[in-house]
Amino acid sequence: MNDITPREALNFDELGFDTAAVRAGTLRSEYNEHAEALFLTSSFCFKSAAEAAERFANSEDFFTYSRFTNPTVTMLQDRLAALEGGEACIATASGMSAILSIVMSACNAGDHIVSSRSIFGSTLNLFATVFTRFGITTTFVDPNDLDAWRAAVQPTTKLFFLETPSNPLTEVSDIRAVADVAHEAGALFVVDNCFCSPALQRPIEHGADVVVHSATKYIDGQGRVLGGAIIGKRDFVMGKVFVFVRTTGPSLSAFNAWLMLRGLETLPIRMERQSANAFKIAQWLETQPGIKRVWYPSLASHPQHDIAKRQQKTGGALVAFELHGDTPEAQRANAWRVIDQTRVISITGNLGDTRTTITHPASTTHARVTPEARAAAGVTEGVIRLSVGLEDPNDICADLARGIA
Ligand SMILES: N[C@@H](CCOC(=O)CCC(=O)O)C(=O)O
């Protein structure tokens, strides 16, 4: 590929994380532009039919067609691989298409997955309803019960799936401990690192084989575009996932990749500040009598506080809390009242934005999950998820106080 860099290529393994966040992805055109260029083109031209044939035959090394190779997307992939400490990355159109691509690349009909039960609603549905139609079954387990992971293993188990911290309750699991069980079983261990981003947690360093992201969240960081990313060893990512994405087309657009490159430049400072704001808000929520329970990994009351301290740089920017209520209906009414009384916070089904967002998971992000699966994951009608942004945390507390009072 035309890797024309103004000076010699940088080795990001030897440079700091913050340096990689702004500089990794060094591909430049013949013009040696300073900022990453946006290559809005569906295809690339060839000097001859023979060159076209040669380049299509070696598509990993040449730009041919943007469904599978585009310079702007390559720069994003290179940067994400550097940030996660992986050998290679493939970017996709959304987080869900990233998970789909991993499973379709790793499993065949008749194979089996062991997954945490505490995962995003659409991921749970993908495993429980879509894959089963193609003969891939999943056993869901309590993510903090290592015996349950072990007991769920079958001769056909090919993949372990963990989300830590989990969506929406920020349940934290020991990545190294689950990795050991996965590897004893000969399974590929996939960790969804969406809530932390590589700025706060690098699962590959703790034994994960593959890291998956909804890049829509902290990687974009400003609530603008959808995207996904798969990071891991070259033989799996380029040998299998690349071929799947090339053939089936859940590819990331160059425009979205370009925005995400901009977003990543501020990832470390956004995560630091948003985490600090979230900690302040979580501490304040714990003092509110109207609130039954608060989940935030940096709080001493969090059930996996010790694991989080070991594994994450900060508690992250997601806070979950539960409202009182004698019945599920009363809990929902209380939660909706708090949400509806906000004026500053955005009521929306997304997270990872610089603006604070508030979500009622039971009726949005986890609405299509069965009530039993929601109950097993602890997602009651009283739970509210807050994705804390860059506003003054006092303004966010005041906005929440109106409904809580
Ligand atoms: N990952 C986002 C997703 C937003 O919600 C959904 O995708 C809902 C699922 C559906 O209705 O199909 C988040 O957690 O905020």
Q: Report domain extents, the chain.
A: 13-265, 268-404
Which of 365, 384, 387 to mutate for ligand 1's pocket (most ligand atoms within 8 Å of CB)? 365
pLDDT at 2 over 70: no
Using the Cα atoms of residue 329, residue 331, residue 334 and residue 340 in order, give the sign of their dihedral: negative
Is pLDDT above 70 for 1?
no
3-state SS string for 250-296: CECCHHHHHHHHHHHHCHHHHHHHHHHHHHHHHHHHHCCCCEEEEEC
The answer for residues whose C-beta is within 8 angstroms of residue 61's C-beta and 6 or more apart is 1
Q: Give, using CA atoms, the residue closest to atom 13 of ligand 1.
A: 350
Q: Please state, as a whole number, how many other Cβ atoms lie within 10 Å of the Cβ of residue 151.
A: 11
What ligand 1 atom has the least distance to the C-alpha of 194?
1
Chain mean position to CA 381: 24
CB of 115 within 6 A of ligand 1: the answer is no
Residue nearest to atom 15 of ligand 1 (CA): 350
The 3-state DSSP class for residue 125 equals helix
- What is the number of the ligand 1 atom nearest to the C-alpha of 351? 15
Question: Element (H or E) spanning 305, and its range?
Answer: helix 305-311
In this prediction, residues 295-324 reach a mean pLDDT of 98
DSSP structure string for 46-96: -SSHHHHHHHHHTTTTS--BTTT--HHHHHHHHHHHHHHT-SEEEEESSHH
How much distance in Å is there from the Cα of 6 to the middle of ligand 1? 42
- The average confidence (pLDDT) of the chain is 96
Give distance in angstroms: CA of 373 to centre of ligand 1: 16
Asked if pLDDT for residue 378 goes beyond 70, the answer is yes
Residue nearest to atom 7 of ligand 1 (CA): 365
pTM: 0.95
Burial degree of 86 (CB within 10 A; 0-12, 13-18, 19+): buried
- pLDDT of res. 116: 98
- Find out whether the beta carbon of 337 lies less than 6 Å from any atom of ligand 1: no
Q: What are 318's two structure tokens?
A: 């997601």
Residue 6 is predicted with a pLDDT of: 53
Q: Among candidates 12, 44, 41, 42, which has minimal Cα distance to 26?
A: 12
The alpha carbon of 11 and the centre of ligand 1 are apart by a number of angstroms equal to 37
Fold of 13-265: Aspartate Aminotransferase; domain 2 (3.40.640)
User: Token pair of 374, please?
Assistant: 């929601």
Q: Which ipTM was obtained for this model? A: 0.92
Q: Is the CB of 121 under 6 A from ligand 1?
A: yes
The answer to whether the CB of 166 is under 6 A from ligand 1 is: no
Task: From 133, 136, 187, 117, select the one nearest 159 (Cα to Cα).
Answer: 187
The secondary structure element, H or E, covering residue 17 is helix 17-23
> Could you tell me if the CB of 195 is within 6 A of ligand 1?
no
- Distance (Å) from CA 123 to ligand 1 centroid: 9
Does the beta carbon of 106 lie inside 6 Å of ligand 1?
Answer: no
**What is the CA(182)–ligand 1 centre distance, in A?**
28
What is the mean predicted confidence (pLDDT) over 304-310?
98
Among 120, 216, 219, the mutation site with the greatest number of ligand 1 atoms within 8 A of its Cβ is 120
Lookup result for tokens 């830590």: 164
| Stretch (H or E) spanning 235 | helix 234-236
Share of the chain above pLDDT 90, in %: 94
Q: Is the CB of 351 under 6 A from ligand 1?
A: yes
186 lines ligand 1 (CB under 6 A): no
Using DSSP bridges, classify how beta strands 157-163 and 346-347 pair: parallel, antiparallel or unpaired. unpaired
CA distances from 209 to 73, 191, 206, 280 (A): 22, 8, 9, 34
186-213 residues labelled b (16+ CB within 10 A) or e (exposed): ebbbbbbbbbbbbbbbbbbebbbbbbbb
According to the model, what pLDDT value does residue 41 have? 97
Given a cut of 60, is residue 155 above it in pLDDT? yes
Long-range pairs for 204-207 at CB < 8 Å and ≥24 separation? Answer: 204/84, 204/85, 204/86, 204/231, 204/232, 205/85, 206/175, 206/176, 206/179, 206/311, 207/175, 207/176, 207/179, 207/180, 207/183
The pLDDT tens digits for 270-294 are 999 999 999 999 999 999 998 999 9
Q: In sequence order, which residues have a C-beta less than 8 Å from that of residue 217 and are 6 or more positions away?
A: 95, 194, 195, 197, 350, 351, 352
pLDDT band, residue 10 (cuts 50/70/90): confident
Pick the atom of ligand 1 nearest to 214's CA: 1
CB 90 within 8 A of CB 229: yes
Average pLDDT over residues 14-32: 94
Q: pLDDT confidence of 5, banded at 50, 70, 90?
A: low
d(CA 249, CA 101): 10
Percent of the chain topping pLDDT 70:
98
Are 91 and 77 spatial neighbours (Cβ–Cβ below 8 Å)?
Answer: yes
For ligand 1, atom 1, which residue shows the shortest CA distance? 350
Q: Worst-scoring range by mean pLDDT, 54-68, 86-100, 126-140? A: 54-68
Report the C-alpha gap between 396 and 361 in whole angstroms: 19
Through-space distance between the first and last CA atoms of the chain, rounded to whole angstroms: 60
Contact 325, 382 (CB under 8 A): yes
Peptide bond preceding 165 in cis form (omega within 30 of 0):
yes
Interval 224-266: pLDDT, tens: 999 999 999 999 999 999 999 999 999 999 999 999 999 999 9
Residue 364 alpha carbon to ligand 1 centre in Å = 7
C-alpha of residue 136 to centroid of ligand 1, in Å: 23
Cis check for the bond before 168: say yes or no (omega within 30 of 0).
yes
For 346, the enclosing helix (H) or strand (E) is strand 346-347
324 close to ligand 1 (CB < 6 Angstrom): no
Reported as a pLDDT band with limits 50, 70 and 90, residue 61 is confident
Give 268-404's CATH code, choosing from 1.10.1740.10, 3.30.428.10, 3.40.50.300, 3.90.1150.10: 3.90.1150.10
Residue nearest to atom 12 of ligand 1 (CA): 122
Render pLDDT for 387-402 as a digit per residue (tens, 0 to 9): 999 999 999 999 999 9
